Amino acid sequence: MNPLDILYGAGGAWLAAAVTGLLAGSWRPGLRACCGLSALAGAAATGAGGWSLVYGDTRVVAPGPATITGGPLQLQMTSLAGVFVALLGIVAVAIALYVPRYHEPSRGTGVYLAACNLALLACLAVLAAGGMVTFLVSWETMSLACYLIILRHPRSGETARGAFWFLALSEIGFLLVVAAFVIVSAKTHATELDVIAARGHLVPGGWRAAAYLLALTGFGFKAGLVPLHVWLPEAHPVAPADGSAFLSGVVVKLGTYGIALFAFRLVPAAGSWPGLVTMGAGAVSAAIGILYALRERDIKRFLAYSTIENTGIIVTAFGAAMVFHAYRLSALSAFLLIAGLYHVANHGCYKTLLFLEAGVVEHATGTRDMDRLGGLVHRLPRSTVIAFVGTLGIAALPPLNGFVSEWLIFQGLFQGFRTGSHLTAILIVLAAATLGLTGGLAIYAFVRGFGIPYLGMPRTPKAAAAREPGQPVAGPALLAVACAALAVGAPVMLGALSRTAHTVTGTSLGPLLLPGKLTVIPAHTNFSAFSPTYLTVFLVAACAVPALIYLAGRPRAASVSVPVWDGGMVSFRPRMQYSAMTFSAPTRVTFDALYRPSVSVRRASDDDPAGRSGPVHYEAQVTPVFDRYLYRPVIRAVEWLADAIRPMQSGDVNLYLLYVFLVILLAYLLGAV
C-alpha cells in the first residue's frame, strides 16, 4: 500500500464521476452521485497528499496502461507534489459540496461536471506524472478541460472572449514548456523525471538556463506572472464560481508547481541570476497584481488580480530559495521553499473560499459589482462570517494562515544579507520591500473587498433582497476550517514541509525550524522566532477576556443610546456611503503613472445651459496598459501575418499536392544529411 494506490483510487473515482456526470445530464440524483464520487476522490487525494508529505517520496514508476504516445504511463508520488495533491483534494471536496446548490440541474450541468472531474483527474495526473510525456499530455488535457469549464455559459461574448484568452495563453505557454522539456530530456537522454533530475548536472549551463527560462515563462502563463497574466481577469469572471475557484485554487498553483519542479528538481540553476530573475518577476507580479485589484469593482476580477499578487509572492519565495541555494545557503533555501509551499497551501484554501463566496453573492443578488452591493452582512450572515475568515487569511492578518506563510517569507527574505554579495542582498531586500508594499496594499484592498459588499447599507434593491436559504455553505465552511487549521496547526504543517524540503533540496532543518514543539525559527537562530499557535491562542484570549469581563460586569450607570450624530439629516442614504471606487481613489492618485486614469464627469444635462439639473456621473477609467501596449501589437502582427500567408490557401488541389511533395522532399534531404 502506498500513496499511489490511493491516487489510483482517487483518479478512478474522478473518472467515474466524470462519466456519471456525462450520463446523468440533468438527472438530479445522478448529479449528486457525481458530486459524491468527486468528493470521495478529493478526500482520498488529500489523504494521499498528506501521506506523501509525511512519509516522503514514493519513487515507484508505475508501468501504467499505454498512452496515445505509445510510451508507458509513468506515475510517481513525490512529496514536492504532495502539498499540491493535498490542496487539490481539499479544493475538490469543497467544490463537490458547493456544486449541488450552485448549479441548477440541466444537461449543461452534467457535461460541465464531467469537464470538472476530468480537469481534476488531469491535475492529479500532472502532479503524479513520473515522465515527461505523461506530464505534458495531462497538462494539455487539464488546459482543455479548464477551457470547457470556463465555457459553462457560452452564450455571452464575454465568456467566449475570456475562454479564448485562457486557451490562447495556455497554448503558448504549453509550447514553451514542451521546448523546455525537450531540451532537458535531449541533454539527459531521458524522459523519466527522476532520471532527468538525477542527470541534471549533465545539462550544460547555457542549456540549463535556457530550459529554465523557457519553463519559467511557459509555466508563468499558467501561474499568471505579470505580464503573462491577462487571462486571469478575463477568464475568472465569466467562469462559474466553482470553476474560477478551481482555476485560482489549483490550476494557477500548478504553474508554480511547474516552476518549482524545474527550479529544484530537474535543473537546479548553477548561477544566482535565474533565481534573481524569478524573484523579480514574482515581486513585480505581486505589486502590480494588487494595484490592479484595487481598481476593480467586479468582485471576481478583483479576486483574480489578487491571485496574481499571491502567485507573485509564492514565486518570489521560490526565486529567493534558488538564490540562496546558489549561494550555498541550503538552510535558508529550504526554509524559503517551505514558506513558498506553505503559501501555496494557504492561498489555495482562502482564494477558493473567496471565489465560492463571490459565487454565493452573485447567486443571491445577481451582480458582482461591489458598487451595487452592500449590507450583505444582514442578509447573508453565514456567508459573511465565512468570507470574513477568508479575508483575514488573504489579508495576512493574524491569527489566520496567510499571516504565517507571509511572515515566513519575509523572515527568509530579510536574511538576504547572509548571501555576502551586496548586490544580491540589495536585490533581495528590494523584493522584500516590494512584498511589504504589496502586503500593505493587500490589507487595504481586502478591507475594501469585504467592507463594500458586506457592510454598510444595500446600494440596490437587489442587494437588499438577497436571501441566504438555499445558498451553498458547506464547501466554503470546510475551507474556512482548513484555513484555521493551517494557522493553528502551523508547526505540524511545517514539520511535514521540512521533510519535503529535505527530500527536494537534501537539507534537513527540522530542529533548526522547530526547536520547541510550537515555536518557529527562520532557519537561523538569533534572528527571530514566533509561534503561530501561541499567537492564535493569545489573540483569541485578548478578544475573549475583555468580552467576558464586560459580560460578567453589567454596566452600572444608567445609559441612554441615541442614533449616531449625522448633522441632523433627515436620513442616511445608500448613496452617502463610500463606494468601492472612491475608497481606492487615493491609490489612483498616488499610482497615477501606472494607472493612467482618464476621468470623466458627466451630467445628464451638460448640454443644458442651465446645468446641474441632472444626475452627476463620475467615471475614472484605468488604461489597460498590458492589453494595449503588449498584446494588441502582437495580435495585430499575427493578424497581419495571417493575411500575408492567406494566398497560400488558394484551394487548388494541385498546389496542395505540390506543398506535400516539397515537404517530403525537405524531410528526405534532412534525413540524408
Partner 1 sequence: MTTVEPQAGTSEQLIRRLADLGGLEVLGGAETRGAITVRMLPETLEEATHVIAASADTRLADMFADDGGDAPTLRLIWALEEGYLVTETEIQGDQYPPLSDIAPAAFVEECEIYEQFGIRPATGKPLNRLMLPPHAGPDFPRLGHRPAEPLDEAHALHTVGGQAFEFPFGPVRQVGVESLYYGLVTSGEEVVDVYLFTWHKHRGVEWRLRGTTPGEGIFFAERAEGLSAVAVGWAFAAAAEAALGVAPPPAAARTRAVALELERLYNHAAAMAALCQATGLTVGQSAAEIALERLLRVNAAAFGHRYLFGVIEPGGTARAPDIAVLRRDLPAAYGELRRAANALLATNSFVDRLEACGSLTAEEARRLGLVGPVARATGLAVDARLNGRRPRSGSADGGPYAEHPLTVVTADGGDVFARFQVMLGEAAESVRLIGEFLDAGTGAGRTPLPEKGNGELGSGHGLGWAESSRGEVLAWVALDETGRITRARLRPGSVRNWRGFDDACRSQNVFTDIPIIEASFWLTAAGLAR
Partner 2 sequence: MNPSRGKAEAARRLRDTIAAQFGRSLHIRTLDTGSCAVCEQEIRLLAAPHYDLQRLGFFFTPAPRHADLLLVTGPMIRAFDVAARKTYEAMPGPKVVVATGACALGGVYPKDPFVHGNVGEVLPVDVWIPGCPPSPLALLQGLGVAVGRLAERTPGLTFIAGPAADGGEA
- Which of 103, 118, 121 is closest to 25 using CA atoms? 103
**Shortest distance (Å) from residue 605 CB to partner 1:** 7
**Shortest distance (Å) from residue 371 CB to partner 1:** 8
**Shortest distance (Å) from residue 561 CB to partner 2:** 10
Q: What's the grid cell of residue 632?
A: 494588441
Contact 527, 535 (CB under 8 A): no
**Shortest distance (Å) from residue 573 CB to partner 2:** 15
Helix H or strand E segment including 202: none
Residues recorded for the chain: 673
3 state DSSP class of 25: coil
- Among 553, 563, 609, 671, contact with partner 2 (rule: CB under 8 A): 563
Which CB, 205 or 586, lies closer to partner 1? 586
Which CB, 265 or 301, lies closer to partner 1? 301
Helix H or strand E segment including 76: strand 72-77
Span interacting with partner 2, options 44-52, 353-361, 558-566, 644-652, rule CB under 8 A: 558-566
573 binds, among partner 1, partner 2, none (CB under 5 to 8 A by kind): partner 1
- The phi and psi torsions of 391 (rounded to 5 degrees) equal -65, -45
**Shortest distance (Å) from residue 615 CB to partner 1:** 4
Q: What's the grid cell of residue 174?
A: 504549453
Contact 488, 518 (CB under 8 A): no
**Shortest distance (Å) from residue 571 CB to partner 2:** 9
The site that binds partner 2 (CB under 8 A) totals a number of residues, namely 9
**Shortest distance (Å) from residue 368 CB to partner 1:** 16
3 state DSSP class of 304: helix
Establish if 562 lies at the interface with partner 2 (CB under 8 A): yes
364 binds, among partner 2, partner 1, none (CB under 5 to 8 A by kind): none
- The phi and psi torsions of 105 (rounded to 5 degrees) equal -65, 125
Contact footprint for partner 1 (CB under 8 A): 297, 371, 566-570, 572-573, 575-579, 581-586, 588-589, 599, 601-605, 608-620
**Shortest distance (Å) from residue 570 CB to partner 2:** 6
The type of residue at 429 is V
Residue matched to cell numbers 487595504 = 444
563 binds, among partner 1, partner 2, none (CB under 5 to 8 A by kind): partner 2
357 binds, among partner 1, partner 2, none (CB under 5 to 8 A by kind): none
Contact 509, 498 (CB under 8 A): yes
The type of residue at 122 is A
Which CB, 161 or 602, lies closer to partner 1? 602
Establish if 557 lies at the interface with partner 2 (CB under 8 A): no
584 binds, among partner 1, partner 2, none (CB under 5 to 8 A by kind): partner 1
579 binds, among partner 2, partner 1, none (CB under 5 to 8 A by kind): partner 1
- Which of 279, 282, 268, 275 is closest to 322 using CA atoms? 275
Pairing of strands 598-603, 72-77: unpaired
Site string for partner 2, 564-583 (x = CB under 8 A): -xxxxxx-------------
The rounded distance, in Å, linking the Cα atoms of 514 and 508 is 11
526 binds, among partner 1, partner 2, none (CB under 5 to 8 A by kind): none
3 state DSSP class of 602: strand
Q: What's the grid cell of residue 579?
A: 463606494
Establish if 555 lies at the interface with partner 2 (CB under 8 A): no
3 state DSSP class of 58: strand
**Shortest distance (Å) from residue 367 CB to partner 1:** 16
Contact 60, 7 (CB under 8 A): no
Query: Which residues here bind partner 2, judged by CB under 8 A?
Result: 560, 562-563, 565-570
